[in-house]
Amino acid sequence: MARPDKDREQEQQDTPKSRRSQRRAAVRASERAARAARHAEPEDWNRRLIIGSIVAAIIVAFGFIGFGWYQTQIKPLGKTVLRVNETTISLGHLERRMELERERNFIFSGTNQNLLQLPELVIDQLEAGIVLLDGLSELGLSVTDEDVAAEVRSRGGLADEVEASIYADELRQQVEDSGLKAGEYELLLRTEIAQDKAQAYFVYVGPQSEEQARGQVMALRDRVQADEVLQRLESGEDFLAVGEELALNPENLEIDWTPRGGTSTIIEDVEEFLFSAEEGELSEVFELGETFYVAQLLERDPDRELGEDQRTAVGSRELDTWVRDLRESYNEQGLVERNFDEDDAIRALDDIL
């Protein structure tokens, strides 16, 4: 019985020592773990630093690529190349209109020299159209939202009472087909409606009769041939006979009664000759590009009644004159500003080809 008491006493004496030993062991284990952690920490940090550096380099590289793309491809398209009063046209808008013009006008469908004229042609069209739309009120006219909606319905073959959802689908399709943005397509519609309204106005207020001329004109392939033809005509040969033999336009030698600006088939110099020459007089040789012309005035009437087609032609002439004068006025007032140079033209052509 004495032994158990001794064991219990020994156990009571050993317990604090045991606990102290356990604590020391735990401290040593903690120190070893700390030393191991301190040894491993630089390696982990190095790995993280290397990985972080690689990721940062990739992000920076993509950032430079994205920034370069934005600077060279996206940002230039937002450049304002034309301002007419409060309406602005961006380079991107101009390019989309150029693409539409290529679809509409066959002379720009290929990749010939005509394309070089496309940027200036389209920016001129935009300027003239916006000036016309902006100044339409001077004629007592306007283009309303209902006019635009009616034009959309007309182009889509829709009834006036068509459901709103069907109208919206049709408008969306027209915008998509045009290649323009919605606001750009609306501007196009408004300028074309303004053109039609102004044309009708000038036909309505135009004259019923006007000076007209009737003559003959032949187009020839080169200057030498044109000089030879003129000599033959001056020696008395028949204009139509010579023209049927040599002219580039043997089926269109005769110009019927026409007012000034009444036809687009004769060049400005020929028209000026027809309205200033004596009856029967032959012209000198006129040159336009690579084509040469010889003309003869047959008759001129100072006050001849205009037919329906002639009144339409006169209306177009008066409209063109009015728009030209209005553009000059806008430019003088500083209401038109172009910021479009050769680099922009080259960029626009490159983008659409």
Query: How many residues does this entry show for the chain?
Result: 353
pLDDT of residue 266: 83
Residue 288 reports pLDDT greater than 60: yes
Least confident of 116-120, 259-263, 318-322: 259-263
pLDDT in tens, 188-227: 999 999 999 999 999 999 999 999 999 999 999 999 999 9
Calculate mean pLDDT across residues 73-88: 85
* Token duo for residue 272: 């000026």
pLDDT of residue 55: 63
Least confident of 30-34, 266-270, 339-343: 30-34
| Residue burial 54-74, b: 16+ Cβ < 10 Å; e: rest | eeeeeeeeeeeeeeeeeeeee
Residue 273 reports pLDDT greater than 90: yes
Residue 216 · residue 295 · CB < 8 Å: yes
What percent of the chain is predicted at pLDDT more than 70?
79
Q: Tell me which amino acid residue 346 is.
A: I
CA distance 180 to 173: 11
pLDDT of residue 334: 96
Least confident of 12-16, 271-275, 336-340: 12-16
pLDDT of residue 23: 61
Residue 107 reports pLDDT greater than 90: no
CA distance 189 to 109: 23
What percent of the chain is predicted at pLDDT more than 90?
71
pLDDT of residue 170: 98
- Give the helix/strand (H/E) hosting 212: strand 209-220
Mean of all residue pLDDT scores within the chain:
86
Residue 184 reports pLDDT greater than 80: yes
pLDDT of residue 112: 72
pLDDT of residue 59: 62
Calculate mean pLDDT across residues 313-328: 95
Q: Of 340, 285, 307, 325, which Cα lies nearest the Cα of 128? A: 325
Rounded to the nearest 10 degrees, what angle do helices 91-104 and 118-135 cross at?
100
Residue 36 reports pLDDT greater than 90: no
pLDDT of residue 134: 96
pLDDT of residue 70: 45
**Can you tell me whether residue 301 is helix, strand or coil?**
strand
Rounded to the nearest 10 degrees, what angle do helices 118-135 and 182-205 cross at?
70
pLDDT of residue 69: 42
Check residues 48 and 79 and name the one with the higher pLDDT: 79
Residue 265 reports pLDDT greater than 70: yes
pLDDT of residue 49: 64
pLDDT in tens, 222-250: 999 999 999 999 999 999 999 999 999 99
pLDDT in tens, 108-164: 877 777 889 999 999 999 999 999 999 999 999 999 999 999 999 999 999 999 999
* Token duo for residue 93: 């808008």
Residue 63 reports pLDDT greater than 60: no
Residue 20 reports pLDDT greater than 70: no
pLDDT of residue 204: 96
- Which residues are 215's β-sheet partners? 255, 297
CA distance 271 to 78: 43
